[in-house]
Amino acid sequence: MKSKLLLALLTVTLAGTAAAQVKVEDAIKFRQSGYAFMAWNMQRIKMNVEGTYNKEDVIKAANAIQAIANSGMDALYVPGSDKGKGWEDTRAKPGIFTDKEKVGKVATVFNKEANEMAKVAATGDAAAVGAQLGKLSDSCKGCHEDFKAKK
Amino acid sequence: MKSKLLLALLTVTLAGTAAAQVKVEDAIKFRQSGYAFMAWNMQRIKMNVEGTYNKEDVIKAANAIQAIANSGMDALYVPGSDKGKGWEDTRAKPGIFTDKEKVGKVATVFNKEANEMAKVAATGDAAAVGAQLGKLSDSCKGCHEDFKAKK
């Protein structure tokens, strides 16, 4: 009986932090989705810069990247999600779960460049958008090099 | 020779609209990603409303939904993507490619509710957020019923 009571108490306590709880396979799927959706929008901005420039299209793309970048995707790196399958097997390297300092640094740079991208997009200056896209892309790679396994 | 020249001219013309061009399998993958990422954020808002409410968490989630909803995902319904596999086989029903009037209606309602969700989230009023989440959820279902096949 005592252990049942303890379990009940534990359940109540955990329920209080429900906001952080996502199943491992869902967490992997959601983070893969966030990165893929940003990839589409990076690609869109690139095509606008290299082809016919549409200011509104670039603003929409930059706003999506900014909002996803700032959405708090770190919450999706739940315990146990270092291995497993979302849409596909996770390519997250172990360091992303352990090297808090380096992860914090690359995430901060990425957020800064994503916020800047949205600002530059709003100006409609295609050349400036192209330059900022380079910086943003570098900030993506800055994380991928250390923390994303190659296919 | 003539047909080669015509083909070359056609290629140049198509390159001019590069911004709209996404491969079918990528288009399906990107739209599945957008919907899945929004699903995570809907789930987060729900857990905040039902559990411990964190204003900043809800704002981040609502902003992500809003930016994705307004990103112009209609561009991902490229010709030929009525069938095919992104992360998984598409569940888009044929009508989403043909019934422009109805699709336009449900998309407008969805965008309106997503924009409203971001506004309500900014107030930090948990009850109002809960009510708006219901409306937003209904607007998702309003499209799924007609245009998304069940698993």
Tell me the pLDDT tens digit for each residue of A45-82. Answer: 999 999 999 999 999 999 999 999 999 999 999 999 99
Asked whether residue A16 is assigned to any structural domain, the reply reads: no
* Maximal C-alpha separation, chain A: 71
Residue B79 in any domain: the answer is yes
Is A51 close to B87, i.e. CB distance below 8 A? Answer: no
Q: CB within 8 A of A112, min separation 6: which ones?
A: A139
Q: Check residue B146 and give its pLDDT.
A: 92
- A19 to chain B, any CB pair closer than 8 A? The answer is yes
Q: Considering only alpha carbons, which residue of chain B is nearest residue A29?
A: B36
pLDDT for residue B16 is more than 50: no
C-beta of residue B48 within 8 angstroms of C-beta of residue B54: yes
CB contact under 8 A, B22 and A43: yes
Checking if the pLDDT of A18 tops 60, the result is no
- pLDDT for B100 beyond 70: yes
Structural tokens at position A17: 């932090």
- Residues of chain B positioned with their CB less than 8 A from the CB of A88: 87
Query: What is the mean predicted confidence (pLDDT) over A29-35?
Result: 98
Asked if residue A5 belongs to a domain, the reply is: no
Q: How large is the angle between the packed helices A126-147 and A55-69, nearest 10 degrees? A: 30
User: With 60 as the cut, is the pLDDT of residue A7 above it?
Assistant: no
CA distance A121 to A131: 11
Predicted pLDDT at B13: 43
Would an 8 Å CB–CB cutoff place A85 in contact with chain B? no
The mean per-residue pLDDT over the stretch A2-10 comes to 49
Give the SS3 label for residue B53.
coil
Is A32 inside any structural domain?
yes
How many domains would you assign to chain A?
A: 1
Q: What is d(CA A34, CA B33) in angstroms, rounded to the nearest whole number?
A: 7
Q: Give the CA distances from residue B142 to residues A97, B35, B48, B147, in Å, rounded to whole numbers and listed in that order.
A: 39, 14, 24, 9
Judge whether residue A1 has pLDDT over 80.
no
- Say yes or no for a CB contact (<8 Å) between B21 and A47: yes
d(CA B8, CA B1): 11
Q: Which residues of A touch B66 (CB under 8 A)?
A: 67
Given this model, what pLDDT does residue B20 score?
53
DSSP A94: T
The answer to whether residue B29 sits within a structural domain is: yes
Q: What is the CATH number of the domain that holds A46?
A: 1.20.120.10
Q: What is the predicted pLDDT for the residue at B3?
A: 52
Q: Helix (H, G, I), strand (E, B), or coil: what is residue A43? A: helix
B76 contacts in chain A (CB < 8 Å): 40
Contact A37 B39 (CB under 8 A): no
Quickly state the pLDDT bin for A20 (edges 50, 70, 90): low
Residue pair A53/A115 in contact (Cβ under 8 Å)? The answer is no
Identity of the residue in A33, A54, A60 whose CB atom sits nearest the CB atom of B36: A33
Is A101 among the domain residues? Answer: yes
**Among the partner residues B57, B63, B88, nearest to A67 by beta-carbon distance:** B63
CA atoms of A28 and A148, how far apart (whole Å): 13
Are the beta carbons of B32 and A33 closer than 8 angstroms?
yes
**Closest chain B residue to the Cα of A14, Cα to Cα:** B51
Q: Does B128 fall in a domain?
A: yes
Q: What is the pLDDT of residue A36?
A: 98
Which residues span the domain enclosing B131?
23-147
In a domain, B16, yes or no: no
Give residue-wise pLDDT tens across range A99-118.
999 999 999 999 999 999 99
